[in-house]
């Protein structure tokens, strides 16, 4: 099995080196690994921190478009979409292989926790993981993975500026069973620390509600601030 890990980046000099270094140390258990960084026009040192054998691709700044571009160039049978500030569990490759040995499984996601895994943030992650396990809908910071054939049959990510992960995982459910892995990715708490935990919770739920009732992602994007 070959896994292609696709990382969309835009001004991620504070996180990309650690993320890539961690990926190169993952136990592979005979699994081939390909890593692609798809940059959306970084103006900092992001690309200077990306070393071979990681492949670098470039496109316009749109997370959905960047991930679709990576998927088009990827060689693996399995595609894993990873945020630049997120570390996979050491068992990630083996966990995916085990889940996908069941042919009814078309893709899945990991549990998630932050790098500040205490108090209210710990509780928030537990609630997010529980909700995702029940609904089989994932967010991008949970490390969404999918069979390449399924990704292409779905037409990839919708080219929308926000909620592309929610839209994708909702459509993936229609393709077959979804694996909700218990092993945890560790994602940066920078947004929570910058915007405040309660305010971030409110915004997350508000955006999801507005999206589900029909607000266009372009409208929601105007209210969304990128934290790096």
pLDDT tens string 83-107: 999 999 999 999 999 999 999 999 9
Q: Is 216 part of a structural domain of the chain? A: no
Reported confidence tier of residue 227, pLDDT bands at 50, 70, 90: very low
228 has pLDDT over 80: no
Task: Answer whether residue 74 shows pLDDT above 80.
Answer: yes
Residue 175 lies in a domain: yes
Task: With a cut of 90, say whether residue 127 has pLDDT above it.
Answer: no
Where does 45-163 have alpha helices with state H? 63-73, 92-100, 119-135, 148-154
**Residue 218 counted as domain residue:** no
Which are the contacts of 111, defined by CB distance < 8 A and separation ≥ 6? 125, 129, 142, 180, 181, 182, 183, 184, 185
What mean pLDDT is predicted for residues 161-190? 93
Taking residues 78-84, report their average pLDDT: 98
Whole-number average pLDDT of the chain = 90
> Does the structure show a pLDDT above 70 at 226?
no
Residue 223 forms part of a structural domain: no
Residue 225 covered by a domain? no
Domain count for the chain, please give it: 1
Q: Which residues pair with 9 in a beta bridge?
A: 39
Burial of 53 (0-12, 13-18, 19+ CB in 10 A): exposed
Contact (CB, 8 A) for 107 and 146: yes
From residue 134, give the alpha-carbon distance in Å to each of 88, 126, 201, 204: 22, 12, 19, 18
Q: Find the domain containing 125 and state its range.
A: 2-191
What is the model's pLDDT at position 120? 82
pLDDT-derived band at 114, boundaries 50, 70, 90 = very high
- Asked whether residue 198 is assigned to any structural domain, the reply reads no
Residue bearing the bigger pLDDT, 97 or 222: 97
Q: Is residue 21 part of a domain?
A: yes
Find the CATH number of the domain harbouring 148: 3.90.550.10
9 vs 192, residue with greater confidence: 9
The arithmetic mean of pLDDT across residues 211-218, rounded, is 67
**Is residue 222 assigned to a domain?**
no
The fraction of the chain above a pLDDT of 90, given in percent, is 72
């Amino acid at each position: 099995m070959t896994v292609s890990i696709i990382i969309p980046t835009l001004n991620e000099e504070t996180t990309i080196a650690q993320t890539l270094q961690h990926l190169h140390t993952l136990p592979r258990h005979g699994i081939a690994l390909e890593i692609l960084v798809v940059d959306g026009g970084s103006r900092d040192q992001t690309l200077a921190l990306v070393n071979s054998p990681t492949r670098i691709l470039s496109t316009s700044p749109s997370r959905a478009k960047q991930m679709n571009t990576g998927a088009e160039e990827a060689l693996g049978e399995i595609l894993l979409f990873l945020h630049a500030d997120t570390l996979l569990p050491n068992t990630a490759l083996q966990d995916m292989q085990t889940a996908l040995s069941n042919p009814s499984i078309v893709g899945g996601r990991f549990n998630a926790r932050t790098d500040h895994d205490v108090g209210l943030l710990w509780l928030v992650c537990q609630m997010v993981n529980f909700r995702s396990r029940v609904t089989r809908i994932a967010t991008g910071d949970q490390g969404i993975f999918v069979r390449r054939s399924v990704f292409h049959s779905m037409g990839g990510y919708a080219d929308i500026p926000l909620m592309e992960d929610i839209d994708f995982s909702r459509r993936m459910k229609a393709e077959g069973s979804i694996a909700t892995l218990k092993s945890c990715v560790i994602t940066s708490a920078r947004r929570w620390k910058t915007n405040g935990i309660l305010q971030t919770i409110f915004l997350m739920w508000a955006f999801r509600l507005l999206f589900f009732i029909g607000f266009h992602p372009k409208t929601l994007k105007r209210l969304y601030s990128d934290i790096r």
